[in-house]
Amino acid sequence: MIEPRPDVALREGYHSPQVEVRVRLNTNESPEAPPAAWRDALVAAMADIDWNRYPDRSATTLRSAIGALHGVGPERVFVANGSNEVLQTVLLTFGGPGRSAAVWEPTYALHSHIARVTGTAVVEGERAADFSTDLDEVARVVRGSRPAVSFLCSPNNPTGVVDDADTVRAVLAMVAEIDGLLVVDEAYGQFAPWSALGLVDDDTPIVVTRTFSKTWSMAAARLGYLIGPAPLVAELDKVVLPYHLDAFKQLAGTLALAHTDAMDDRVRRLVAERERLVARLRTLDVDVWPSGANFVLFRPRSRAGAEVWSALVDRSVLVRNCASWPRLDGCLRVTIGTTDEDDQFLAALEEVIA
């Protein structure tokens, strides 16, 4: 039997345990479904799909709708099967053997995982003690290793920290000095107070990635996109597989963009619920980090995080055990759910750590 590539043979995949529980708050999904009007429109429009024909290879209608949302033309939009395929295409295009990608830990695990799978070396730096981006550490990694691609995740997963505009501009300047590319992963961008989208133009080496999974309540659709310089997007189009985005997904994404007000309302409710949850957590025997996303990172003080995680599962509440991330031993991450789900989580947590 043929053996896999030796550089990936022993590598663990990216997994988030799924167990049967009453309250599932471990994968940062939206607790609310998309609007019924979107669902009804999608069901009706499916009748017009020519299932015997290939989909629009360029996804022109969807790209135009996304571009209109952000005030750019479709030539600056790249769409794919979730933001993870967007990241994979970026690394296939600009990474690969002989090139490297930079990450600052702890951060989204798939940045380094996808880099390695694409044959891209990974260079790692560390975030500051409060998990903010340390510009001295960025300078050490960028100027010392000259990575082809540098990743900033803001709001950062799993810590929730948001990089401010001055920080992102400073990192961008360092990356531009070495003719690299800065990828700002904004999977949770709509929950944050600002976005790096305003920094994108055709002459600046920065792209911003987004997803429909979180704020658009469409995790099941697996749809993500990138806003970047038009010449860079044209290179991505050369690398991605032909017809990679099916007709149903293109239709679902396009129709969702007609319900921006509903998405904005949902985001406002989740941000308010996040602040309520954080306030309650700060009254308990846990350390809590500020978050600009739809989740909160915390660490129990008096019991091991793994013990608390197991005890919560015993009470039919599932959160994410973040012990596998660098420097996050004992940390847990809870997704913002409905008020009822969050109350059940808080009651279970209070009982466990009492």
Q: Is the pLDDT of residue 182 over 80?
A: yes
User: Region 59-85: what's the mean pLDDT?
Assistant: 98
Q: Model confidence over 128-139: pLDDT tens digits?
A: 999 999 999 999
Token pair recorded at residue 45 = 């429009």
**What's the chain's average pLDDT?**
96
Max CA separation in the chain (angstroms): 60
Sorting pLDDT into bands at 50, 70 and 90, what band is 261?
A: very high
pLDDT value for 2: 84
- DSSP string of 230-287, one letter each residue: HHHHHHHHHHSPTT-S-HHHHHHHHHHGGGHHHHHHHHHHHHHHHHHHHHHHTTSSEE
Token pair recorded at residue 95 = 């990474």
CATH of region 46-258:
3.40.640.10
Q: Is the pLDDT of residue 126 over 70?
A: yes
Q: Is the pLDDT of residue 118 over 60?
A: yes
User: Region 135-150: what's the mean pLDDT?
Assistant: 98
Are the beta carbons of 81 and 249 closer than 8 angstroms? yes
pLDDT value for 276: 98
Residues forming CATH 3.90.1150.10 domain(s) in the chain: 23-34+261-353
Are the beta carbons of 59 and 352 closer than 8 angstroms? no
Q: Is the pLDDT of residue 342 over 60?
A: yes
Q: Is the pLDDT of residue 12 over 80?
A: no
Sorting pLDDT into bands at 50, 70 and 90, what band is 14?
A: low
Residues forming CATH 3.40.640.10 domain(s) in the chain: 46-258
pLDDT value for 11: 56
Q: Is the pLDDT of residue 252 over 60?
A: yes
If phi > 0 it is left, if psi is from -120 to 50 it is alpha, else beta; for residue 53 that is beta
Q: Model confidence over 193-240: pLDDT tens digits?
A: 999 999 999 999 999 999 999 999 999 999 999 999 999 999 999 999
Sorting pLDDT into bands at 50, 70 and 90, what band is 18?
A: confident
d(CA 56, CA 79): 12
Among candidates 268, 316, 270, which has minimal Cα distance to 31?
270
Among candidates 113, 66, 56, which has minimal Cα distance to 226?
66
Token pair recorded at residue 267 = 């985001």
Sorting pLDDT into bands at 50, 70 and 90, what band is 7?
A: confident
State the DSSP H helix or E strand holding residue 340, giving kind and residue range, or none if neither. Answer: helix 339-353
CA angle 58/63/69 to nearest 5° reads 175
Q: Model confidence over 281-334: pLDDT tens digits?
A: 999 999 999 999 999 999 999 999 999 999 999 999 999 999 999 999 999 999
What is the homologous superfamily of the domain 23-34+261-353 according to CATH?
Answer: Aspartate Aminotransferase, domain 1 (3.90.1150.10)
Sorting pLDDT into bands at 50, 70 and 90, what band is 15?
A: low
Task: Look at 54 and 18; give whichever has higher pLDDT.
Answer: 54
